[in-house]
Structure 1
Amino acid sequence: MKARNILLTTALAGVALGFVQKAQPTLKDAFKKDFYVGAALNYRQLNGQDAKATALIKQQFNTISPENLLKWGPVHPQLNTYNFKPADDYVAFGQQNNMFIIGHTLMWHQQTPKWVFEDEAGKPVSREVLLKRLEEHINTVVGRYKGKIGGWDVLNEAIDDQQGDLRKTKWLEILGEDFAAKAFEYAHKADPKAELYYNDYSLFRPEKREGVIKLVKSLQAKGVKVTAIGMQGHYGLKQPSIEQIEASIVAFSKLGVHVNFTELDVDVLPKPSRRQGGADISENYAAATQYNPYQAGLPDSVQQQLTNRYADLFALFHKHRDVIDRITLWGVTDADSWLNDWPIRGRTSYPLLFGRNYEAKPAFQSVVQAAAQKSK
């Protein structure tokens, strides 16, 4: 603890945007021998509306994910309508900055329009119709970015939170249990060289971990290639434990797949739900003052906890760098974070490495300095 306090007192208060002091490494440089480090982007950061964030992204990261631009609803809102402009700009940005580009996501039970599952009368479509729509969507979207997007979150959050069974969704209801295999098959056919991922939250929980292991084994038994499992790192200051997270890294690596931490953030705010580490966007609660305690700023004591938490997490990631390919923060600055509006709208959240004024927080400093110490 003393060592970390020294780090904090000697750390720079922030990074002056537009340049990095020679003694101040960036995230991508600090871990260049270990894994990619990236962030999820919104459209304002790509089209020039948030120029400071754009500069920060170029400076710090070597991989990017689209927060919403490539989800089914935004990119394919109607049966015969595609909206590719935002996604095209996203991919062009990644190419211009020599970044490893991620596609997120091809199959999910959220943010998928109703028309995908219904006929003109509003009744459920047949398995054959839904398979055709799925294949057409994946072939069109993945095919458009063939050779440009390096990896795809093919399937997102398909395992139930409680028992580790397949989540009861329209995909499962209409297609049956081979829905996952079909999505991976179509994605591989559309771009044989792209990495293909399964992505989910709360994978530190033994029940959910076992459910994912069962799913991946079933895909492998069908000859379906899964490159990596994406562990969404929506964590708290204390939960889950480092030991719980590590147990899943080890268990997944035994499947012969790699691991990505795909949506990393650390929630410092109290939650109305007792569940830890979740990311079910259907959970929402009414605003209450006790759940938004840091509107005037984060107390030093909590800032220290956040700093320690990030240092511990990145020490774990570095330890398992042989099987970890990518760490992606879910947002660039605290102002961008989805946690400002989930599970309660309008809160002041502080879950990332950069603050609302684009400054590097003490947590950033502890992460890059920990990387420097590890490399000695």
Structure 2
Amino acid sequence: MPAAVLVSAALLVTGVAQTASAHEAPLRTLAGRADVRIGTAVDMTALAEDSTYRRTTAREFNSVTAENVMKWESVEPRRGAYDWSKADALVRFARAHGQAVRGHTLLWHNQLPSWLTTGVADGSISAAELRGILHDHITTEVKHFKGEIYQWDVVNEVFDDDGTLRNSIWLQQLGPSYIADAFRWAHAADPKAKLFLNDYNVEGINAKSTAYYELASRLRAEGVPVQGFGIQGHLGIQYGFPGDVSDNLARFAELGMQTAFTEVDVRMILPADAEKLATQATYFRGLLDACLATRGCKSFTVWGYTDKYSWVPGVFTGQGAATLMDEGFVTKPAYAAVREGLASGR
């Protein structure tokens, strides 16, 4: 981590925490000057019911991602019966506030509708039929949002940490060709959207990120429209900052691909204290600096920005405080570090 960032974050925690001031330029304004989109995942229930959340989401971010409402179980809970209502509401909100929309996610092994997983498990959906279902799902969803989505997470989390393909129902039923198929189908449905691979634990150079690099190299050589690599960025301060982040981004850029940080949060073992918050700030800033320094890294998305609605405590027992603001929308040193990084353009 750059020494200047460590010093900056240490100084930040000595100041008084405050809510993001209307008198200061919001993150989105600074991001525009830095030629990057600053985004957040959006909780649609909170957006509908919490006026502070709604106002802050509009003020601070120029990109939004649906936290859940574009996933398969949400948009097609019953076979052939699509429900776009909540996803459409996010797109309308984004349009009204001058925000771009990232699409998340077309193909994943989780949050699939029960009619699909049950049908595969009991054999009532054959492999050939499953391939047709996948084609129809990707085509229908991408066409529904055609012209509204600037980046799609097409395939999500297809490798295990050791670099082998995840043994999902997609691999079991369709073989590895489903990955290329998904990109081809998405591109046919909306040729202008940028199409991404997306995963966690791929911030630095390791077996998993190298597997993605090799996959992307091969698919692109075959003419498959794999155009971006999404690094989720779910970090924990107790594990240390990943090494080689800039080098990892650079090798994908050398392939001619875009890169993006797509789901950034930095959790800690609770309770939070000044030292932990200072460390957290350096982690956010380290990922942002790597993005700003890399050709083709044009979006940096946090996975929620307030602890009030963070997914982390519900999944990681005893951990939390993972976002830029606390439960009362009071900014943390991490917010100031991101703000400073955007303002400096690196």
TM-score (normalizing by structure 2): 0.91
- 2:234 touches 2:266 (CA, 8 Å); kept in 1? yes
Alpha-carbon distance in 2 for matches of 1:150, 1:339: 27
Deviation at 1:222? 2.6
Deviation at 1:13? 2.3
- 2:120 touches 2:126 (CA, 8 Å); kept in 1? no
Alpha-carbon distance in 2 for matches of 1:139, 1:115: 19
**Which amino acid in the other structure matches residue 160 of structure 1?**
D
Deviation at 1:113? 2.4
Deviation at 1:199? 0.4
**Is 1:327 paired with 2:300?**
yes
Alpha-carbon distance in 2 for matches of 1:5, 1:240: 17
- 1:117 touches 1:130 (CA, 8 Å); kept in 2? no
**Cα gap change, 1:307/1:151 in structure 2, threshold over 3 Å: closer, same or farther?**
closer
* Unaligned residue ranges in structure 2 (runs of 5+): 1-5
- 2:47 touches 2:53 (CA, 8 Å); kept in 1? no
**Which amino acid in the other structure matches residue 20 of structure 1?**
A
Residue in 2 aligned with 1:143?
A: 143
Residue in 2 aligned with 1:307?
A: 281
Deviation at 1:238? 5.9
**Cα gap change, 1:254/1:50 in structure 2, threshold over 3 Å: closer, same or farther?**
same
- 1:242 touches 1:316 (CA, 8 Å); kept in 2? no
**Which amino acid in the other structure matches residue 300 of structure 1?**
A
CA displacement, residues 116-145 of structure 1 (integer Å, 9 cap, x when unaligned): 255499216333211211111112111111
**Cα gap change, 1:374/1:122 in structure 2, threshold over 3 Å: closer, same or farther?**
closer
**Is 1:342 paired with 2:341?**
no
Residue in 2 aligned with 1:70?
A: 70
CA displacement, residues 325-376 of structure 1 (integer Å, 9 cap, x when unaligned): 10000012012111111133xx46111111100111122112212433457x
Alpha-carbon distance in 2 for matches of 1:312, 1:186: 35
**Is 1:246 paired with 2:220?**
no
- 1:38 touches 1:329 (CA, 8 Å); kept in 2? yes
Alpha-carbon distance in 1 for matches of 2:257, 2:332: 33
Identity %: 31
Residue in 2 aligned with 1:286?
A: none
**Which amino acid in the other structure matches residue 165 of structure 2?**
L
Alpha-carbon distance in 1 for matches of 2:231, 2:140: 27
Alpha-carbon distance in 2 for matches of 1:367, 1:119: 45
Alpha-carbon distance in 2 for matches of 1:205, 1:330: 22
- 2:147 touches 2:193 (CA, 8 Å); kept in 1? yes
**Which amino acid in the other structure matches residue 61 of structure 1?**
F
- 2:58 touches 2:97 (CA, 8 Å); kept in 1? yes
> Quick check: 302-311 or 228-237, which moved more?
302-311
**Cα gap change, 1:51/1:128 in structure 2, threshold over 3 Å: closer, same or farther?**
same
Alpha-carbon distance in 1 for matches of 2:8, 2:193: 42
**Cα gap change, 1:145/1:130 in structure 2, threshold over 3 Å: closer, same or farther?**
same
Aligned with 1:268: secondary structure?
strand
**Which amino acid in the other structure matches residue 143 of structure 1?**
K
**Cα gap change, 1:105/1:370 in structure 2, threshold over 3 Å: closer, same or farther?**
closer
Alpha-carbon distance in 1 for matches of 2:205, 2:116: 32
> Quick check: 214-223 or 118-127, which moved more?
118-127
Give the helix-richer structure, 1 or 2: 2
**Is 1:184 paired with 2:155?**
no
* Unaligned residue ranges in structure 1 (runs of 5+): 270-292
- Aligned pairs, how many? 339
Residue in 1 aligned with 2:342?
A: 371
- 2:245 touches 2:287 (CA, 8 Å); kept in 1? no
- 2:267 touches 2:319 (CA, 8 Å); kept in 1? no
What is the root-mean-square deviation of aligned Cα atoms in Å? 2.1
Residue in 1 aligned with 2:47?
A: 46
Residue in 2 aligned with 1:28?
A: 28
CA displacement, residues 228-258 of structure 1 (integer Å, 9 cap, x when unaligned): 1000101122645353322311222222101
**Cα gap change, 1:140/1:242 in structure 2, threshold over 3 Å: closer, same or farther?**
same
15, 19, 36: which one aligns with 2:19: 15
Deviation at 1:25? 2.5
Aligned with 1:188: secondary structure?
helix
> Quick check: 131-140 or 246-255, which moved more?
246-255
Residue in 2 aligned with 1:168?
A: 167
**Cα gap change, 1:75/1:57 in structure 2, threshold over 3 Å: closer, same or farther?**
same
> Quick check: 358-367 or 174-183, which moved more?
358-367
**Which amino acid in the other structure matches residue 150 of structure 1?**
Y
Deviation at 1:36? 0.4
TM-score (normalizing by structure 1): 0.84
**Which amino acid in the other structure matches residue 15 of structure 1?**
T
Residue in 2 aligned with 1:127?
A: 127
Deviation at 1:8? 4.0
